[in-house]
Amino acid sequence: MMRFLVFWLVMFIMACNPQSNETLDREEEEAHIIKKSDPPVAIVIHGGAGTILKEHLSDSLEKRYLFVLDSIISAGHQALEEGEEAVNVVIKVISAMEDSPLFNAGKGAVFTNDGINELDASIMKGKDRSAGAVARVKSIKNPIQLAHVVMERSNHVFLSGDGAEQFAKSQGIEKIDPAYFFVQSRYDALLRSKEKSSVSSVTLSEDEKFGTVGCVALDKNGDIVAGTSTGGMTNKRFGRIGDSPIIGAGTYADNQIGGVSATGWGEFFIRNVVAYDILARMLYRNVDLEQAAREVIFNVLEPHGGDGGVVCLDKDGNVAMVFNTAGMYRAAIDGNGIKQVGIYEMD
């Protein structure tokens, strides 16, 4: 455990210094075998999907994303190999992504129309289908941790707004100054979105629609846990909540089948119950993980106008990372120990 904690510390020191990422070669994106464990463990993560094009990222920023994704997936897999329970790994992995300004969750959360940050998260255990979720929290550093407390210490599944904040206080969870969440690039995105919306509100820009983090893990006990966290949609109004905290839409897990975490245009993931639908197709139609995920993303979600992606794994440690956008920040190590890290569609 101590080695695991030290690894995280080193990772964050390096991730915060772009110069330290210059040594990362493009070969880091390629799949390669690191270690196969028995019984198998597996882990998959995403950091959001959208119009992520190579020409939109500087070389240094691209390397930084790849470094952070690679470091997080490696640390999470190491913890699973050492016997850490999936629920703890998912919480640590998502907390790490929430603490990074690179992703639209926690520290990197986007701004609402009112110029504040409202955060959503959910977590689900496949062993007993217990789940916890929070939405529209404003002073909780790591919403995934509060979602876990909702799951473990309450009779409820989903708490929102002031009620979720009150519950956090009752459980001894420290509140932070909302100013912690301020990131200049996110605020600039809000200003751009407001300028566009003053001209036309018919369509949403990529800044507005996308940005989520998620993780699904399979541990040595055969337990599958899925979690998702987000800052939501840039310039969102009227208390809008997307799919990330909604069990069945943005997050779902069942030990007998697999687990899913989603990212994309939340309204469409809610309407099509995407996370649950993928696992239901595996159960009732007896199709494999990759086929089920592709059917839902390309044949159900896309025809209805929805875009985004999912990361999934099944009870045997097989992994699928499927998206219908130009890119999705993603990484995985499957049950055979094969690691993949990528950003763009062709990675």
The DSSP secondary-structure symbol of 346 reads: T
The answer to whether 190 touches 183, Cβ cutoff 8 Å, is no
Give the DSSP H/E element, type plus range, for residue 186. helix 184-199
Report d(CA 1, CA 24) in Å as an integer: 26
Q: Which of 314, 313, 274 has the alpha carbon at shortest distance from 297?
A: 274
List 112, 212, 263, 325, catalytic entry: 212
d(CA 282, CA 314): 9
Strands 131-137 and 158-160: parallel
Rounded alpha-carbon distances, angstroms, from residue 37 to 29, 126, 144, 217, 245: 22, 21, 28, 14, 32
For Cα atoms 87, 92, 97, give the angle at the middle one, nearest 5 degrees: 125
Question: What CA–CA distances, in Å, run from 157 to 131, 132, 245, 262, 320?
Answer: 6, 5, 10, 18, 27
List of long-range contacts for 82-87, beta carbons under 8 Å, 24+ apart: 82/1, 82/4, 83/219, 83/220, 84/1, 84/4, 84/219, 85/219, 85/221, 85/223, 86/217, 86/218, 86/219, 86/221, 86/223, 86/224, 86/225, 87/123, 87/125, 87/148, 87/223, 87/225
CA distance 341 to 333: 9
Tell me, yes or no, if 212 is annotated catalytic: yes
Active site residues: 212
